[in-house]
Amino acid sequence: MNYIPLILFGVLLNALAQLCLKQGMIQIGHFAFSFANLLPIGIKVAFNPYVFGGLCLYVLSVLVWLLVLSRVEVSFAYPLLSVGYIVNAIAAYYWFAEDLSITRMAGIAVIIAGVCLVARS
């Protein structure tokens, strides 16, 4: 059976979780790590819907990943997690206006080549 769609589903859940967490932290804003900030920032983080949603997506992605690991070799599945780097880089470019330089695009191309090699094995 082909488990690549299941693996990619887990990877996409994980990538979406990262994007949600980023959106939540954009809303919260920059803060200093200090004991005085522990409670006020902790409350903001705990009650931010994007952070909460991101954490829920992480939990779901872990459940899918456990399902994947029960069916395929970890040496096959784990390298496919790098697809998440590609998804996050492209999504961050469009949603957060983050830089997608030539160097980053070259790195993405290398990742794509590696994923193709692993997926063919």
Dump the DSSP string for 53-113.
HHHHHHHHHHHHHHHHHTTS-HHHHGGGGGHHHHHHHHHHHHHS-----HHHHHHHHHHHH
**pLDDT value at position 17?**
98
| C-alpha 90: how far from chain center | 12
**pLDDT value at position 118?**
84
Q: What's the token pair of residue 33?
A: 């790590």
Q: Which residues of the chain have pLDDT under 70?
A: none
